[in-house]
Amino acid sequence: MGLTQQQQAYYMGEALKEAQKAAALGEVPIGAVVVVDQQIVGRGFNLRERFEDPSQHAEFQAILAASRMFKTWRLPNAQVFVTIEPCIMCAGLMQQARIQAVYYGAEDYKAGGVHSMYQILEDERLNHQVEVHSGVRSDEAQALMKNFFQAIRKRQKAKKRARKMQAQGDN
Amino acid sequence: MGLTQQQQAYYMGEALKEAQKAAALGEVPIGAVVVVDQQIVGRGFNLRERFEDPSQHAEFQAILAASRMFKTWRLPNAQVFVTIEPCIMCAGLMQQARIQAVYYGAEDYKAGGVHSMYQILEDERLNHQVEVHSGVRSDEAQALMKNFFQAIRKRQKAKKRARKMQAQGDN
């Protein structure tokens, strides 16, 4: 049942490709794939801004795609690969969908529902537990996020400078 | 900003009507409405089995309907009315969507993400908090659930009895 390190690295590479699609559209670069029997059966990347939909997280889309493919809400043989630690909503969906395991890259210290803030998937009180694996290609996932937010800050600074120069010109 | 008890009872009545639609289709009877400026802007009832979709909870649908109506993922003026305490996934969505307040009927002691198992919406560590109001017309919400599960058990017993009688007839 367990995936080799090589397999894990490969599937996370596919999730990282999805994250790059989000970055190209100006969305927070998070990507995900869902794997069943060593086949990718769902893909997704963050599209919250473009769709103006609070549920359009990468792993949310990938899981619903897998669910549509198999025509069932139960996915007990599915592994989810996602570049950043899932939020509470996405961890809740994984628990609801009876996912077998999640592999994620970097931690989300501010909102993570799997390890950082809550440990929803391993809660023995709930009717289903999901295996949690962390740190898969985390440097690459984190680098994507860092570059994205650095670029935003750079643009904001440039705008501020332009406004300041204009104000000086006006005086 | 606060809703009167009469208003709360009215909106919960609309959520209860949604729950009855779920019951009529053989789905666990949970219903929800979303209210903005004292208008209902989203409705939903549990359709997980029919759609084979793990995210098709009542309040999930109602919130996404409101989001589509206003073309935004941010709903800071929205109140959600739902007959049963939201699960972890739905509480996560409310936090993501910046919902103002949730009013629910009966507790969900096995999976509630708002009060019973987790208190996600009032977590001060997260970047948004949602007001939580419980016990609105809870007896009616609970009665719907009780009747639904009693009917299921009754059908199961009848089936078992029929099988037993058949087996005796076969001997």
The ipTM estimated for the assembled molecules is 0.92
pLDDT surpasses 70 at B170: yes
Among candidates B51, B73, B123 on the partner chain, residue whose Cβ is nearest the Cβ of A54: B73
Type of residue numbered A42: G
CA distance B111 to chain A (A): 7
Q: CATH fold of A5-170, please?
A: Cytidine Deaminase; domain 2 (3.40.140)
Min mean pLDDT across A1-5, B8-12, B52-56 is at A1-5
Q: Where are the domains positioned within chain B?
A: 5-170
A49 touches chain B (CB under 8 A): yes
- Mean of the pLDDT values across residues B118-139? 98
| Residue percentage of chain B with pLDDT more than 70 | 99
For residue range A121-151, list pLDDT tens digits in order: 999 999 999 999 999 999 999 999 999 999 9
pLDDT at B168: 86
pLDDT at B169: 82
Q: What residues of chain A lie within 8 A of the CB of B52, using their CB? A: 67, 71-73
A143 touches chain B (CB under 8 A): no
CA distance B91 to chain A (A): 7
Q: How far apart are the first and last CA of chain B?
A: 71
pLDDT at B1: 54
pLDDT at B30: 98
Task: Report d(CA A86, CA A105) in Å as an integer.
Answer: 10
CB B94 within 8 A of CB B102: yes
Task: Report d(CA A144, CA A147) in Å as an integer.
Answer: 5
Q: Do B96 and A54 touch (CB under 8 A)?
A: yes
pLDDT surpasses 90 at A72: yes
The answer to pTM > 0.90 is yes
Q: What residues of chain A lie within 8 A of the CB of B68, using their CB? A: 53
Question: Could you tell me the maximum CA-CA distance found in chain B, to the nearest angstrom?
Answer: 71
- Name the residue in chain B with its Cα closest to that of A61: B55
For residue range A88-116, list pLDDT tens digits in order: 999 999 999 999 999 999 999 999 999 99
Strand partners, A102: A80, A132
For B134, phi then psi, to 5°, come to: -120, 165
